[in-house]
Structure 1
Amino acid sequence: MTIDIPDALPSASTVLSDGAELGEKRLAALPAPQDRTAAQRAEAAAVHAELRSLRTRFLEVHADGVYDRLTAGRSRRPRIAELVETAAEEFPGLVPTGAQIEAERRLPQAAKEGREIDQGIFLRAVLRSPVAGPHLLDSMLAPTPRALAMLPDFLRTGAAEMEAVRIERRGGTARLTMCLDDRLNAEDECQVDDMETAVDLALLDPDVRVGLVRGGEMSHPRYRGRRVFSAGINLKALGAGGIPLVGFLLRRELGYIHKIIRGVRIEDAGPERWHSPLVAKPWAAAVDGFAIGGGTQLLLAFDHVIIEAGAYLSLPAAKEGIVPGVANLRLTRFTGPRTSRQVILGGRRIWAAEPEARLLVDEVVEREEMDAAIERALERLDGEAVSANRAMLNLAEEPPDVLRAYAAEFALAQALRLYGDDVITKAGRFAAKPEPAAVQLRERLG
C-alpha cells in the first residue's frame, strides 16, 4: 500500500508570499532609503530582518524543490541571472522582482533598498545544496548566447573587438587584450561580459590551443603608452550603483574565471566528446604595471604568470570593504595563511622583486623582455599532455564542491558587504568625483 504525502511546497510558498506582501506594504509606507530618519531606518531594517528570516527558513526546507521547479527537474540549465528572474515570477516574495531590481539599478548605492541581499540568500541556499548547487555551477560553464552569435565570424577572421577586450588568434594562441585604456582596465559589468565572451570564443575555437591575457596600452596621462594589467573593480561604478551582485560579482567568479580553470561546457557535442562535456585549454597571463584587486584575483586562475620587474600585486578589499572574490579561497593555497592575511586583511602589496612574489608568479622579467618571455611560455604550454595534467592539478587543488561551498557563502557575504555603511561611504566618494581612473589610482596608491 502506498501513502500519498502532500507536497508542502505550495502551502509554504503561500505563507512566504503573504508575509512578503505585508512587509512590502510596510516598506512602501516609509520614505526612500536616503530620506529616512534614524527611527525609520531602524524600522526598515526590522522589516527586512523579518522577511529575510522567513526566506531563509523557507529555503532551508525547500531549496531543492524550488530549484527543481525552476529548472523543470534539472532538465533546463538557466544561468544565475535567468534563475533569479524566474524565481521572482514562480515564487512571489522569494527574491526581488525584475522591476524592483531595475529600479534599484538606476540609483546610487546609498539610495538602494538593498534587495540584492535577498538574491544572495536565495543563491546561497541553492549553491549549498549538494543536488542543486553542482547543477547551477555546471550551468554557468555554458557558452553565452553572445559568444555563440559571434563565433562564426571569429572562426573566419580570427579576431573580435569589444569595448573592454580585444581577442586575436595568432599561432594557435588566443590573445586577449584588456583595453579599457582610459580606466586602467578597471572592471565593471561591461568588462565582465566582454571577458566572458572572449574566453568562450577562445575555448570554442578548435584552432586555439593556448590562451593569453594581457593589459593593453593606456591613454591615462600617468601611464600613457604603457601597458597596465588591471586596476581592479571600478569604484566609481560601485558608488553609482553599477556593480550588481548577479551580473558582475557572481557572474565574474562562476562565469569566465571558472571557465579559465575548468573549461566551457558543450551540450550535445556529439560522440567525439563522450569522455567529457568540457573543453579546456591552458592559460597564461602577463602583468605589466600592476594587478590590483580583481586583477590579482584573476591571476590565481592561470597556469603561468609572467610579471614585469617593478610591478606589484595587491588585494585592497578590506580597505574598500568588500570580499575579494574567490581570492580568500585560493590565495592561501599559493602563499600560506600568514601572507594571505597580510595581503587581504592588512592591504600588503607584493612587489615583483620580493621573494613572496615567486609564490604567485612564475617569471619576473624586465619590461623590454616581456614579449620574448611570453612567447617562450606559450610554447611550453602548447604541449600534448599539458591540458590533461592541468585539469588534474585543478581538480586536486580546487575540487568543484570546495568552490561550490565557498561560492554559496560568498553570494550572501558579498551582498551584505555591498550595503555596508563603510562601503557606501567610501564608494560614494568615488561616484561624486570626475576622472574615475585617475581618482581610483590615486586612492589605491595612497
Structure 2
Amino acid sequence: MTGPRPPREAAPEGWTALADAARRVDDLIARLPDPADRTAGQRALVEAAKDRARSHRVRFLTAHVDTVYDRLTEDRTRDLRLDELVTEAGKEYPGLLPTEEHLAGERGRVQADKEGHEIDQGIFLRAVLASPNAGPHLLDAMLRPTPRALALLPGFRDRGTVETDAVRLERRDGVAHLTLCRGDRLNAEDCRQVDDMETAVDLALLDPEVRVGLLRGGPMTHPRWRGRRVFSAGIDLKELSTGGITLVGFLLRRELGYLHKMVRGLRTDPTGPTGWRTPRLEKPWAAAVDGFAIGGGAQVLLVCDHVTAAADSYLSLPAAQEGIIPGASNFRLARQVGPRLARQLVLGGRRLRAAEPDARLLVDEVVEPPDMDAAVDRAVARLAGDAVLTNRRMLLLAEEPVDAFRAYLAEFAFQQSLRIHGEDVLHKVGRFAAGTR
C-alpha cells in the first residue's frame, strides 16, 4: 500500500509524525504472521507500535478535526453518512484511518483474528462527534432518508406493504406496522436487520398517510419458540464472534440511524414550502413486547412513546455481562427508571419481568397475552391525537438535549470500539458461538 498523502494545503502540525507512525505499524504487520499465529512477543511489538500511532492520531485530531471534516464534506456542504465519511477519510488520510485495503483484509476473519482497525475509526468518530462544528453536521446527515428507502417509497405508498429479509412493513388505518421477522434467530440483530429497520423507519416517516409507527415481533420459527411472538433477543452474538458486527455498519449506524430517527425524525429541506414549521418529519412510536426484549430489544423501548407488554414477558440489558456497552441505554435509562434500577439492569444484568412493579418504569401497560392485540390498538389510537406530536417534541427538548446525546455518542464510539476487541469479549462471544454458553 502507498503511504499517507499529505493534505492539499500545507501539512497541519502533527501530520508527518502520525503518517510515519502509521507507516511503521503497516510495515511491522506486513512482516509478521496473522494475529492468531503471532507469539506473545510479536503481539506486544504490534500493540506498542499501534499505541504510538494512536497517540499521534489523538493529538492530530484534537488540533485538526474540523479541518479534516470540512475537507471531507467540502466545508459541510456534503452530507456524508458514517460509512461514507470513514471511507472518504481513509482515502484522503490513509494514516489517519484504515483504508479500504486494510478493511478488505479483515473481511471474513473472526473477531479474535482482526487487527483492531475499528479502534482507529472510533478515535476518529469520537473527535468528529465531540466537535461543536462537525458533530451536529454529522448527526443531521444521519437523519436524511436512505437512498434505499427513497427508492422503495413509491411502491410503499401505492401498495402499503414492503417485505425485507428482517422486517415486514405494512400500513393499516394510518398505522405503520413494523414486524420483526427473523424467526430463526429470535429477532437477534445483525447488520442486515439494522439496514432493514432503518429502511422501514424511513418509509413510515416519509409516508404522509402514516400517523403512528408500531414495532412488534412476529411468530418465530426457532424450535424453542415456534409459532410464538418474540420481540428481540438483542445483538446476534454469533455474528459478533465471527466478525460480522462492525462498529460503523452496526453499532454506530444503529444508534445514529433508525433509533435516532425514531427520536428526532427525518431531516427535511428547511427551504421547502412547509420547512418554516419544522426541519424534521416526526411520528410517535409504540412497541408491543411479547416473549422478551433482551439487550438491543430493550434499548428500542427507551425511544418509544408507549410500550405495551405481555404479562409473561421480560426485559434485560446484559451488555455488561457480554462485555460491551448497551448502546445509548446508559444515556437514556437513568432518566426513565432512576439511577439505582439503571445500575441493576446495566451493571448487574437484572432480568425485569413485566409483571414486577419496577417494570412499570419501562412499560406503560401490562396485559395478559390474549389481550395484547386490543391493548395495542388502544395505545396507537391514543398516539394518533392531533396534539401528541407537538407535546412529544417538547418533552424531548427537556429529556434528551441533542448536544448531550452527541457528547454521549462521541465517547460511545471510542469506548465501544475498544470493547468489541477486548480479550474478555472475544472469549465470551467465542464460547457463545461454540455453543458452550
Fold equivalence (TM over 0.5): yes
CA distance in 2, matches of 1:9, 1:262: 38
TM-superposed deviation, 1:19: 2.5
Q: How does 1:216-255 map to 2 (within 5 A)?
A: 216-255=218-257
In structure 2, give the amino acid aligned to 1:342: Q
Provide the residue aligned with 1:159 in structure 2.
Answer: 161
TM-superposed deviation, 1:40: 1.0
TM-superposed deviation, 1:18: 2.7
Q: How does 1:149-188 map to 2 (within 5 A)?
A: 149-188=151-190
Provide the residue aligned with 1:290 in structure 2.
Answer: 292
TM-superposed deviation, 1:432: 3.3
CA distance in 1, matches of 2:169, 2:84: 27
Q: Secondary structure at the match of 2:274?
A: helix
TM-superposed deviation, 1:352: 0.7
TM-superposed deviation, 1:39: 1.0
Provide the residue aligned with 1:342 in structure 2.
Answer: 344
Q: How does 1:26-425 map to 2 (within 5 A)?
A: 26-267=28-269, 270-425=272-427
Q: Contact 1:9–1:65 at 8 Å: present in 2 too?
A: no
CA distance in 2, matches of 1:14, 1:233: 40
Q: Percent identity?
A: 63
Runs of 5+ unmatched residues, structure 1: 1-5, 434-438
CA distance in 2, matches of 1:87, 1:9: 15
TM-superposed deviation, 1:99: 2.0
CA distance in 2, matches of 1:123, 1:380: 39
Q: Contact 2:14–2:56 at 8 Å: present in 1 too?
A: no
Q: Secondary structure at the match of 1:273?
A: coil
CA distance in 2, matches of 1:23, 1:216: 48
TM-superposed deviation, 1:91: 1.1
Q: Deviations over 1:359-407 (max 9, x none)?
A: 0000000000000000000110001110111011112100000110000
CA distance in 1, matches of 2:132, 2:294: 34
Provide the residue aligned with 2:4 in structure 1.
Answer: none
CA distance in 2, matches of 1:229, 1:179: 9
Q: Contact 1:215–1:287 at 8 Å: present in 2 too?
A: yes
Q: Deviations over 1:218-243 (max 9, x none)?
A: 01121111100000000000000000
CA distance in 2, matches of 1:84, 1:233: 23
In structure 1, give the amino acid aligned to 2:418: L
CA distance in 1, matches of 2:18, 2:44: 23
Q: Higher relative contact order by CA 8 Å / sep ≥ 6: 1 or 2?
A: 1
CA distance in 2, matches of 1:284, 1:334: 16
Q: Give me the CA root mean square deviation.
A: 1.4
Q: Contact 2:14–2:59 at 8 Å: present in 1 too?
A: no
Runs of 5+ unmatched residues, structure 2: 1-7
In structure 2, give the amino acid aligned to 1:32: D
Q: Deviations over 1:190-242 (max 9, x none)?
A: 00000000000000000000000000000112111110000000000000000
Q: Contact 2:290–2:310 at 8 Å: present in 1 too?
A: yes
CA distance in 1, matches of 2:119, 2:223: 39
CA distance in 1, matches of 2:12, 2:258: 36
TM-score normalised per structure 1: 0.94
Q: Contact 2:175–2:213 at 8 Å: present in 1 too?
A: yes
TM-superposed deviation, 1:7: 6.4
Q: Contact 2:12–2:64 at 8 Å: present in 1 too?
A: no
Q: Secondary structure at the match of 1:272?
A: coil
Q: Contact 1:107–1:240 at 8 Å: present in 2 too?
A: yes
In structure 2, give the amino acid aligned to 1:388: T
Q: How many residues align?
A: 430
CA distance in 2, matches of 1:368, 1:286: 13
TM-superposed deviation, 1:10: 4.3
CA distance in 2, matches of 1:431, 1:44: 27
CA distance in 1, matches of 2:402, 2:11: 29
Q: Contact 1:13–1:91 at 8 Å: present in 2 too?
A: no
CA distance in 2, matches of 1:221, 1:22: 51
